[in-house]
Structures are given as structure tokens and as C-alpha cells.
């Protein structure tokens, strides 16, 4: 399991919602997608089951994201292994990368 954070992205909330309309149904392997921040400096945080799921999704969205962000997979993106997760109403769970 990996967590990917992108940002700050120089887009507004309205642009984020417009981009969302171009993206197909939630992709296989993505557990969470959260957009947070202020207009002109939005961050996106996602939790994926695997790097393979993320890469497949990136390939299918490259054109849509490139139009909005320029190089969407550039230096403002970081990947980190998830070491624990807690969902509402559940106890924390240890995760092995």
C-alpha cells in the first residue's frame, strides 16, 4: 500500500471539479482520494493498494492531467509507503508497505 501526495497544484477548486468530470469511474486499487488546500494551491492525497494500480491509472489519465497541470507526475509528487491506517469506527491497522 502506498500514499501519494501531489501539490501544491496551481489550480482552483472549480478547475479541480472540471477535471473530475473528465475522469472515469474510480480506478481499481485506489482506496482514497482527497483534495485539500486553497484555490491556487491544492494538494491531492491518494492511498493505493499497489504501485502497479497507480501506474495503470496514471497511464490512462496522462492526457487529461497534462492539460491541467503540465507535468502531473513531476517534482511536486511524493510517494511513501503506508505504515498504518485507521478508518472511521475501526482500530488502527499496521500495513506492510
Task: Return the number of other C-beta atoms located less than 10 Å from residue 7's C-beta.
Answer: 18
Q: What is the pTM of this model?
A: 0.76
Question: Domain-by-domain residue ranges, the chain?
Answer: 2-82
Give the pLDDT score at 96.
Answer: 67
> What is the mean predicted confidence (pLDDT) over 55-82?
70
Q: Which fold has domain 2-82?
A: Alpha-Beta Plaits (3.30.70)
Among 9-13, 37-41, 64-68, 76-80, name the most confident range: 37-41
Cβ distance 76 to 8 under 8 Å? yes
Give the pLDDT score at 35.
Answer: 93
Residue 73 pLDDT exceeds 70: no
69 vs 12, more confident: 12
To the nearest whole number, what is the mean pLDDT of the chain? 82
Per-residue cell: 92: 488502527
Give the pLDDT score at 76.
Answer: 64
Amino acid at each position: 500500500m502506498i500514499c501519494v501526495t501531489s501539490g501544491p497544484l496551481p489550480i482552483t477548486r472549480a478547475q479541480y471539479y472540471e477535471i473530475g468530470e473528465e475522469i472515469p469511474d474510480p480506478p481499481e486499487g485506489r482506496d482514497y482520494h482527497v483534495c485539500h488546500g486553497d484555490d491556487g494551491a491544492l494538494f491531492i492525497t491518494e492511498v493505493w493498494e499497489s504501485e502497479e494500480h497507480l501506474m495503470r491509472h496514471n497511464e490512462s489519465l496522462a492526457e487529461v492531467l497534462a492539460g491541467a497541470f503540465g507535468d502531473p507526475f513531476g517534482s511536486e509528487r511524493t510517494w511513501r509507503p503506508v505504515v498504518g491506517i485507521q478508518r472511521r469506527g475501526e482500530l488502527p491497522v499496521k500495513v506492510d508497505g
